[in-house]
A and B are shown apart, each in its own frame.
Chain A
Amino acid sequence: MKIRKAIEAGQVLVSDGAWGTFLHAKGLKPGECPELWNVTHPQEVLDIAKSYIEAGANMIETNSFGGSRFKLDHYGLGERAFELTEAAAAISRQAAGDAHFVIGSIGPTGKILMMGDVTEEEMVDAFKVQATALAQGGADAIVVETMSAIDEAVLAIKATKENTGLEVICTFTFEKTIDGDYRTMMGVSPEQMAAAVIEAGADIIGTNCGNGMKQMVEIIRALRRAAPDIPMLVHANAGAPVIRDGVTVFPETPEEMFEVVPSLISAGASIVGGCCGTSPDHISAIRRAVEMADHES
């Protein structure tokens, strides 16, 4: 419970930024398995992890978002799920040292339980492999992220709790509906999400991806209404992607993110970081904003 303790002692913590877009910038080709880089290009992965520590993050994720057997099977790497995931945690541990936290990433499996794509047992087994590998590689906590279905997220949280002693952060991805409220693609509201994942044992909850900073303030407010006390994490995209000259660009600048951090904190976020399109520059800006907020309070 190291992270939760730090938050309960009154700290606002800074998390890291994007990994996927960063890996592509370092030469990962579309169609290549990002998690395989943990063993084939460990130096590049370490560089990403380090760059976020240097930018002022208190915690960094691991290059293991797609580390489930189901995702890795596509590359013929399903059997190496433990090895690749453990390597991811070990790299981030090396970058983080003892002074920073490593939060081990577990993303969605891409399978829909209600359609009978896979059984609950198969999904639990896959999450167990990921969680235990992350723990063995040195992660301080697990972040079950980018979730949209309650059943899948609950299985991931329980698999982590039952097989490791690590604290669990769980974040969902919401979209704004025509009516102006937020739902996941599976129709889950922030209020439903908060109730279900807290019940399943999550220690920290929140939201990641899909939205820039401003929308995240609205989502955190909705989560807060349902869960007044639990610590909350935000990993915001650098806005919504636009195409400029054939290249995908996330338009939100570090300064723009900086401006919104105070409202995010007053809405109830206690860990702030980035998702798609954010760079170490964005994380530095968030760090500055958090320090200013600390001085003012």
Chain B
Amino acid sequence: MSEFVEQIALCVERGKVNKDAPYPPDLKGQDGADELAKQAIDQGVKPDDILQGCILGMDRIGEKFSQNKAFVPELLMAAKAMTAAMEHLKPFFKSGEVKRKGTFVIGTIAGDLHDIGKNLVAMVAEGGGYEVVDLGNDVSADKFLQAIEEHPGCVVGMSALLTTTMVNMESAIKAIKERFPDTPVIIGGAPVTRDFAEKIGADGYSPDPKGAVALLNKKVA
């Protein structure tokens, strides 16, 4: 059974979506994450193990990304493969047979329209076993508050690409902490630094998606 898990992990890591997918060229014609997840379920592999395969694959590509050994396209393809595998897990998430580790509410801060970095973190967090609630970009403090209300126990993630908008994180965090003092808020984005995160009262900072998932694991566990 563990063979399926390893194979799914490999497909996710390499971004092999399905058999017809031309990418990556060296896996052409082989089964992808889609086929393998389906076969695994048909053969009675526990859905939880399939999820573990996804988590393992995303963890590996996330590590390569942190080390500058992989870049945005590789991460996007891995996320695509992960989504294909997870599609087969949907009924089990619904029935409660497979549980997610927690809920991650994420959005790009008010005034900022950039969502590529935020999307990458969302994908890797989903691959890390979290239910992701993506609020999109230009997200106001009110929208964050509403989402927290709807998802008790969630962790909030905020992103900014612009130096002119990152300062809006401070007021958003303040608004969140006033109403939900126990909700952890983690932040990231190109201009954001650990120092800045500490100054504005964020509970965590990560320079890359993998670090964000590590933070989630710490905050939720």
Binding site for B on A (CB under 8 A): 20-21, 24, 29-31, 71, 74, 110, 112, 114-115, 148, 177-179, 183-187, 241-243, 246-248, 250, 276
Q: A80–B168 Cα gap in the complex (Å)?
A: 28
A20, A178, A187: most-surrounded residue (chain B CB, <10 A): A187
10 contacts between A and B (CB under 8 A): A110-B114, A112-B76, A114-B73, A183-B68, A185-B116, A186-B72, A241-B191, A243-B193, A248-B167, A250-B163
Nearest Cβ on chain A to B61's Cβ, whole angstroms: 13
A179, A186, A247: most-surrounded residue (chain B CB, <10 A): A186
Nearest Cβ on chain B to A185's Cβ, whole angstroms: 5
Q: A131–B167 Cα gap in the complex (Å)?
A: 34
Q: A18–B171 Cα gap in the complex (Å)?
A: 27
Q: Is the CB of B72 within 8 A of A187?
A: yes
Q: Is the CB of B71 within 8 A of A185?
A: yes
Q: Which residues of A contact B163 (CB under 8 A)?
A: 21, 241, 248, 250, 276
B164 in the interface (beta carbon within 8 A): yes
Q: Which residues of B contact A71 (CB under 8 A)?
A: 113
Q: A247–B200 Cα gap in the complex (Å)?
A: 12
Q: Is the CB of B116 within 8 A of A248?
A: no
In the complex with contacts A31-B110, A178-B67, A183-B68, A248-B166 CB distance below 8 A = yes
Q: Which residues of B contact A186 (CB under 8 A)?
A: 71-73
Interface members, chain B 44-98 (any A CB < 8 Å):
67-68, 70-74, 76-77, 80
Q: A294–B142 Cα gap in the complex (Å)?
A: 57
B100-135 contact mask (Cβ, 8 Å, vs A): 1 or 0:
000000000011111110000000000000000000
In the complex with contacts A241-B163, A246-B167, A248-B163, A177-B68 CB distance below 8 A = yes
Binding site for A on B (CB under 8 A): 67-68, 70-74, 76-77, 80, 110-116, 137-138, 162-168, 170, 191, 193, 195-196, 199
Q: Is the CB of A31 within 8 A of B138?
A: yes
Which residue of the partner chain, among B73, B116, B166, B193, contacts A187 with CB atoms under 8 Å? B73
Q: A179–B66 Cα gap in the complex (Å)?
A: 12
Nearest Cβ on chain A to B180's Cβ, whole angstroms: 23
Q: A250–B163 Cα gap in the complex (Å)?
A: 10
A31, A71, A110: most-surrounded residue (chain B CB, <10 A): A31
Q: Which residues of B contact A241 (CB under 8 A)?
A: 163, 191
Which residue of chain B has its CB nearest to the CB of A247? B167
Nearest Cβ on chain A to B37's Cβ, whole angstroms: 21
Q: Which residues of A contact B164 (CB under 8 A)?
A: 20-21, 24, 30, 248
Q: A177–B162 Cα gap in the complex (Å)?
A: 21
Q: A15–B168 Cα gap in the complex (Å)?
A: 32
Which residue of chain B has its CB nearest to the CB of A245? B199
Which residue of chain A has its CB nearest to the CB of B200? A246
Q: A24–B199 Cα gap in the complex (Å)?
A: 23
Which residue of chain B has its CB nearest to the CB of A188? B71
Nearest Cβ on chain A to B124's Cβ, whole angstroms: 15
Q: Which residues of A contact B72 (CB under 8 A)?
A: 112, 148, 185-187
Q: Which residues of B contact A250 (CB under 8 A)?
A: 163
Q: Which residues of B contact A248 (CB under 8 A)?
A: 163-164, 166-167, 191
Give 10 closest A-B pairs by Cβ, nearest first.
Answer: A187-B71, A30-B111, A177-B68, A248-B163, A31-B111, A241-B163, A178-B68, A243-B196, A185-B72, A186-B72
Q: Which residues of B contact A112 (CB under 8 A)?
A: 72, 76, 116
Q: Which residues of B contact A276 (CB under 8 A)?
A: 163
Q: A246–B171 Cα gap in the complex (Å)?
A: 12
Q: Is the CB of A183 within 8 A of B196?
A: no
Nearest Cβ on chain B to A245's Cβ, whole angstroms: 10
Q: Is the CB of A30 within 8 A of B165?
A: yes
Q: Is the CB of A243 within 8 A of B68?
A: no
Nearest Cβ on chain A to B33's Cβ, whole angstroms: 16
Q: A232–B206 Cα gap in the complex (Å)?
A: 35
Nearest Cβ on chain B to A50's Cβ, whole angstroms: 23
Which residue of chain B has its CB nearest to the CB of A74? B113
Nearest Cβ on chain B to A81's Cβ, whole angstroms: 15
Q: Which residues of B contact A184 (CB under 8 A)?
A: 71
B70, B80, B113: most-surrounded residue (chain A CB, <10 A): B113
- Given A183-B71, A241-B163, A248-B164, 20 more A-B residue pairs with CB atoms under 8 Å apart are A21-B164, A29-B111, A30-B110, A30-B112, A31-B138, A74-B113, A74-B138, A115-B76, A115-B80, A178-B68, A187-B72, A187-B74, A243-B193, A246-B167, A246-B199, A247-B167, A248-B163, A248-B166, A248-B191, A250-B163
